[in-house]
């Protein structure tokens, strides 16, 4: 093994050992570590900002785009925001130790299903250095050790932040190895990490589809995927059209670059004439480019032609594809065919149509009369967000702290044996 590989394996092994201790740590100690980390981040802001300036300078030299430089750049306010995030995570309920369900068997055995940490989480992320603190805090609070692998453009900043976290954890009497950053920026480091199934229980990638695909194909550890969404709003024949327009505009415009933004608007033919011209004008006023089917174009002359590819494209931008459908069934079929099972909404006043839509649309979040933009751990009330899973196993949709846990069964008896 190369030195890089050895270092990664050692770090993962140490994380496993630390995770076993952290799994038993009292909530108070974990919260203490988090509040200490928040204070230390603020206190060490000058050093972190200095490291960050070096990263940014190197990034500019390497020709990073303006958007990437922006994501990479920290300032006092952003550090303060990161620290505040840690304080908020400290305030959340500890999921560890929760009894999910319990029951008594006829033979007197008492069975409890008890929530416990997963063990060790590997987080692989791109340029945003705030993920270093956020992800570590979520893992720590849920009793998991974490191995972090950030983007190489943020390595100095990430290293400075990770050291602060390790100090805070040690000061709280917890094992510092519970949060470790892989400091090597070689590709071999990630490759090695993805093979440590003995020490790492799950990989959570935070980044674009290419990162997630590469990780999934290379990993021998289960990966929780956070793919993006081709989300729909369907305006039913029975819709309140003013509400439908508010929801459509919000779902598209409020923050177009995120996975729960609407990409396709479906409109029932019977309301298309009443709805589309006005709604299209409002969307266009907000800067949205429209790409429509023939029936849409007949009502909105300025709409471009939507191609087959448009229906399955996640624009993440102020672009919207629009289709007039014959009925609810065609809307459901369209969503099943082109959607990604992320977030889809119906606007309707019909009880039966709402029921059919929520039953038949197989997406992580199915909405009636609300914007798709609510698919989010904070909006769902989970307090913090690990991400939005597009997996069907283990966790689906917005992930809170509980999704970083598993369970064990504790069985209490009085001498029962099996006949």
Footprint on this chain of a copy of itself (rule: CB under 8 A): 20, 23-24, 103, 105, 109, 111, 116, 118-119, 201-202, 217, 220, 222, 240, 243, 246-247, 250-251, 254, 336, 354, 358-360, 362-371, 373-375, 379-381, 391-394, 396-398, 406-418
Q: How far is the CB of 185 from a copy of itself (least distance, A)?
A: 28
List the one residue out of 415, 402, 417 whose CA is nearest residue 142: 402
Query: Is the separation of the CB atoms in 351 and 400 below 8 Å?
Result: no
Within 10 Å of residue 370's Cβ, how many Cβ atoms?
A: 16
Query: Is the separation of the CB atoms in 8 and 161 below 8 Å?
Result: no
Q: Which is nearer to a copy of itself, 168 or 275 (CB)?
A: 275
* Structure token digits, residue 173: 């009497």
Q: How far is the CB of 313 from a copy of itself (least distance, A)?
A: 19
Q: Which is nearer to a copy of itself, 50 or 197 (CB)?
A: 197
Q: How far is the CB of 154 from a copy of itself (least distance, A)?
A: 28
* Structure token digits, residue 120: 């060790």
Q: How far is the CB of 243 from a copy of itself (least distance, A)?
A: 4
Q: Which is nearer to a copy of itself, 119 or 150 (CB)?
A: 119
Compute CA 391 distance to the chain's CA centroid, rounded to the nearest angstrom: 11
Q: How far is the CB of 366 from a copy of itself (least distance, A)?
A: 5
Query: Is the separation of the CB atoms in 148 and 182 below 8 Å?
Result: yes
Q: Which is nearer to a copy of itself, 159 or 363 (CB)?
A: 363
Q: Which is nearer to a copy of itself, 59 or 143 (CB)?
A: 143
- 110-117 and 99-104 beta bridge pairing: antiparallel
Q: How far is the CB of 418 from a copy of itself (least distance, A)?
A: 4
Within 10 Å of residue 244's Cβ, how many Cβ atoms?
A: 24
- DSSP assignment string, 67-134: HHHHHH---HHHHHHHHHHHHHHHHSPP-TT-EEEEEE-TTS-EEEEEEEE-SEEEEEE-S-THHHHH
Q: Which is nearer to a copy of itself, 294 or 379 (CB)?
A: 379
Q: Which residues pair with 389 in a beta bridge?
A: 397
* Structure token digits, residue 331: 């809307």
Phi then psi for residue 99, to 5 deg, are -85, 115
Q: Which is nearer to a copy of itself, 149 or 373 (CB)?
A: 373
47's CB contacts (< 8 A; 6+ apart) are: 160
Q: Which is nearer to a copy of itself, 3 or 198 (CB)?
A: 198
Q: Using CA atoms, how far apart are residues 274 and 279, in angstroms rounded to an integer?
A: 9
Q: Using CA atoms, how far apart are residues 41 and 216, in angstroms rounded to an integer?
A: 33
Q: CA angle at residue 375 from 257 to 78, to 5 degrees?
A: 55
Q: Which is nearer to a copy of itself, 237 or 369 (CB)?
A: 369
Q: How far is the CB of 270 from a copy of itself (least distance, A)?
A: 21
* Structure token digits, residue 208: 């674009």
Q: How far is the CB of 125 from a copy of itself (least distance, A)?
A: 20
Q: How far is the CB of 200 from a copy of itself (least distance, A)?
A: 11
């Amino acid at each position: 093994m190369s030195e890089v590989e050895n270092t990664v394996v050692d770090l993962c092994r140490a994380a496993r050992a630390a995770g076993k201790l952290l799994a038993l740590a009292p909530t108070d100690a974990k919260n203490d570590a988090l509040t200490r980390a928040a204070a230390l981040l603020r206190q060490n802001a000058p050093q972190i900002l200095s490291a960050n300036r070096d990263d940014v300078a190197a990034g500019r030299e390497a020709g990073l785009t303006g958007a990437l430089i922006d994501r990479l750049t920290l300032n006092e306010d952003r550090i303060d925001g990161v620290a505040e995030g840690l304080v908020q995570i400290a305030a959340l309920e500890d999921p560890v130790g929760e009894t999910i369900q319990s029951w008594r068997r006829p033979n007197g055995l008492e069975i409890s299903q008890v929530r416990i940490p997963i063990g060790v989480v590997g987080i692989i992320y791109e340029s945003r250095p705030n993920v270093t603190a956020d992800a570590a805090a979520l893992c720590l609070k849920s009793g998991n050790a974490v191995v972090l692998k950030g983007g190489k453009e943020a390595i100095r900043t990430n290293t400075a932040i990770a050291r602060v976290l390790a100090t805070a954890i040690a000061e709280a009497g917890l094992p510092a190895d519970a949060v470790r950053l892989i400091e090597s920026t070689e590709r071999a480091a990630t490759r090695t990490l993805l093979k440590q199934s003995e020490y790492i229980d799950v990989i959570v990638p935070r980044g674009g589809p290419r990162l997630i695909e590469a990780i999934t194909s290379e990993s021998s550890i289960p990966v929780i995927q956070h793919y993006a969404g081709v989300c729909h709003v369907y305006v039913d024949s029975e819709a309140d059209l003013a509400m439908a327009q508010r929801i459509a505009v919000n779902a598209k415009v409020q923050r177009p670059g995120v996975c729960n933004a609407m990409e396709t608007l479906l409109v029932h033919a019977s309301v298309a004439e009443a709805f589309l011209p006005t709604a299209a004008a409002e969307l266009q006023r907000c800067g949205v480019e429209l790409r429509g089917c023939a029936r849409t174009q007949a009502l909105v002359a300025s709409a471009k032609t939507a191609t087959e590819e448009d229906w399955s494209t996640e624009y993440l931008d102020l672009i919207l594809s629009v289709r007039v459908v014959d009925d609810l069934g065609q809307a459901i079929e369209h969503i099943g065919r082109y959607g990604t099972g992320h977030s889809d909404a119906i606007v309707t006043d019909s009880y039966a149509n709402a029921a059919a839509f929520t039953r038949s649309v197989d997406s992580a979040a199915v909405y009636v009369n609300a914007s798709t933009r609510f698919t989010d751990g904070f909006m769902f009330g989970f307090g913090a967000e690990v991400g939005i899973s597009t997996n069907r196993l283990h966790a689906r949709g917005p992930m809170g702290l509980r999704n970083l846990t598993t369970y064990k069964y504790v069985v209490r008896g009085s001498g029962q044996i099996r006949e």
